[in-house]
Chain A
Amino acid sequence: MDLFRRLRRRPTLELDDIQAVVLRARPEPYFGSHAILEIGDRAAGQEMLRRLAPRLTSAAGWDEPRPSWPAVAISYQGLVALGVPESSLASFPANFRAGMAARADRLRDTGVNAPKNWEFPFGTSRVHVAVSVYSDNEDDWRREVAEYRRQLHDLPGVNLLSHQDFGATGWNVFGYRDGFSQPLVEGSGAESLPGDGRAIKAGEFVLGYPSETGQPLGMPAPDVLGRNGSYVVFRKYHSHVAAFNKFLYDNGHTEQERELLAAKLVGRWRSGAPLALAPERDDPAIGEDPQRINNFGYADDPRGLRTPVGSHIRRMNPRDSKLEILSDVNIRRIIRRSTSYGDPLPSDRLRDDGASRGLDFIALGARAVDTVEFLQSEWVNSGSFAGLGKEKDPLISRQDKGAYFTVPGSPPRRVHNIQSFNTLLGGEYFFLPSLSAIRWLAG
């Protein structure tokens, strides 16, 4: 857990009412499961919440090790199934109410990524509740999941639609360390680490507190439902690691050339060390050092000679880059609690083994739904904001035929035939209620 922040100041947020997952970092290594449940009848749904409530973990003491903790999130259809009053339902934002599949145009989820190609139960109106368990060891994870099963198995009005296990060392299936660059949340009590810049207003992540506008963002009614809640965007990706490896082999003759290209695509070496601080060769010591791993900006690299302007991390958090379009980078931050599933494929394997592997992208925030829609349309699937024309994110976009990635330099190098390295298997928008809201929903 060395890479993650510690709680060093007095928190001003109501940590004991906020779900743990908001502030608790994903450990290294980690184990867990995501379950998707359908509420068949209202009484059973409420009974389920009553049974889950005592097991929920708050964000109090969020930096102290814990064997496991759950997260419970509810989709709009789930709120409907729970019988939430109409006036309250209407107070949720329109895109959340529509659900992720209905927002495919805005999310640029087209072609293979379109909802009609998603795996069950995603894209149906039966996705009501997501229960995730995060653990720092295998035994507690298995024990915890068995306990949930025991709690819910005799509730005939609640159906388990899918169960997916996850787990990794901290390195994802492409072999990159991930999940560590996170916004500093004001009022959380978190220490500031070099490179953080100023803390982001709490209301960007937790409902009911001032946001970057100076005011709290719109919040569902009544207060007990909205306050201390957040939103979750869940997107399950299948990763084409063999295609990624082959792209590196097609465009790099030596191990060193391939690893440099791999770093240029992401903006970091697989160790986590950023190109901004280690431009020519990997420096794994930086990847292990929380004081250095995020201690950089891009203002001194306007052309992207070190960190390509189009690389994944520079797109997803342009920091102090000069952009072509007026944008406030502080309102586009998300807390990521993504999880990897399946085994990594070693970097010398160029043929797909057909195995299921990938990443559940999980973003949290008071405007997470708006932010992910914004990221998908403006920063992932377009290059306009950075003067890159039609070039897209090299890691997570759906690439068109003839797509390329530009590695800036003198002369710049255009690397052709970049493929879609991750395809979407499905996803949904969820509301992440506070602990008191869960009790309120349980009736």
Chain B
Amino acid sequence: MSGDVSELTGIFDLKPNGAERLRKFFKLVDGNLVGAGQVGTLHNMRFVFLDNDTKLLFATAYDGEWDAYIDDFATKIPEMMDYLFGNVEGWPGIASPEVKDFITKYQLQAAAWFVAHPDITVSEATRLKRQDLAVQRFLVELN
């Protein structure tokens, strides 16, 4: 963790045709997972296929501890989570008691990483943008 922001990287084995299914899905959403914006702790997230589409590299930066909201995903967006990660070999299901152990097992330690604003969470950035908008409006009205 760097300040309030953390990173998680993992390489997972894909099921046969897993890459193909995921590619179709990513194409459908134009490679842009805007839906993930509702999570509110995700700074970014990327999916990369490796080794002839047999492996998936997943990397993300988010606020706080990685497992704090896993249980919320399990009841709020279970279909989305299982749709994405169901293509991974051994995925126990987002609602499974084993899911945290599964992720920990495939997690890779980053040797180094950098965050420009380690104290600015996604929620804080939203608040600052809102505040800036108000200041800009005020300045426009003032002039």
Contact = CB atoms under 8 A, between A and B. Distances in A.
- Answer whether A and B are interacting partners: yes
A326 B63 contact: no
A384 B76 CA distance: 19
B120 to A, nearest CB: 10
Interface in B98-133: 121-124, 126-127
Contacts of A370: 71
B69 A325 contact: yes
Contact of A324 (B4, B40, B95): B40
A215 B74 CA distance: 11
A378 B123 CA distance: 12
A93 B101 CA distance: 11
Interface in B36-81: 38-41, 63-65, 68-69, 71-78
A227 interface: no
A377 B68 contact: yes
A212 interface: yes
Range for the number of chain A residues in contact with chain B: 20 to 34
B127 A328 contact: no
A214 interface: yes
B137 to A, nearest CB: 16
A377 B97 CA distance: 21
A47 B71 CA distance: 39
Contact of B97 (A218, A325, A331): A218
A326 B77 CA distance: 9
B74 A213 contact: yes
Interface in A189-240: 212-215, 217-218
B127 A389 contact: yes
A288 to B, nearest CB: 35
19 contacts: A106-B65, A212-B75, A213-B74, A217-B97, A218-B97, A325-B39, A325-B40, A325-B69, A326-B38, A326-B41, A326-B69, A326-B72, A327-B76, A331-B72, A374-B68, A384-B63, A384-B122, A387-B123, A389-B127
